[in-house]
Amino acid sequence: MKLILALAATLLLTSCSTGGLSSDSEKSYVSGNGAAILIKEPLRKSAPNISGETLGGGKFNYEIGKVTVVNVWASWCSPCRAEAPILSAFASKNPEIQFVGILTRDNLSSALSFVNRFKLTYPTLIDDAIIASFKGSLAANAIPTTLIIDAKGRVAARISGEVTVALLRELLEKVSGDKVNV
């Protein structure tokens, strides 16, 4: 019996371990499962002001008129690393769609390395307080979260967790009404 308890305790402790490489941010984040929500057009609420300083030191100001993909990410997040090439490819192949990232719970040097590694061409905002301003519509509820804003400036869809090519294309085509390149 003591052996079984000792094995169970060891298993429990090791399954929660990250090898000593975790940060406080990693310990308290919620990973999504890729679930998506699309809001019917008459029920959509206005997106908040999405603007501020970017990771590269510039400024970004969201402007109504383009479908916009907002991706909340962190460099230490495994699903964020997995979806980065997908988002980068969509951004490159669909210039009519505006892409912007929001960095959360991360340090700037790690985030810059992430951007360079995955060749992200779209800006990333470094003020994650913007995330809270989505409350009342579809708020970011996991890392990563991808929000889609329609051309009228209303929050139209959310993917909680890692995006897939098929799901992102489907939602963008439904929101924009146009074919999306992949």
With residue 45 as reference, give the H or E element that holds it. Answer: strand 45-46
Listed by start position, the domains of the chain span: 24-176
Q: How confident is the model at residue 30 (pLDDT cuts 50, 70, 90)?
A: low
Residue 13, number of CB atoms within 10 A of its CB: 9
Kindly tell me if the per-residue pLDDT of 39 is higher than 50: yes
Domain spanning 24-176: which superfamily? Glutaredoxin (3.40.30.10)
Per residue in 151-160, pLDDT (tens digit) is: 999 999 999 9
pLDDT in tens, 42-51: 999 999 999 9
Min mean pLDDT across 1-5, 14-18, 48-52, 147-151 is at 14-18
At residue 102 the predicted structure's pLDDT band, cuts being 50, 70 and 90, is very high
Torsions phi, psi for 143 (to 5 deg): -120, 115
pTM: 0.82
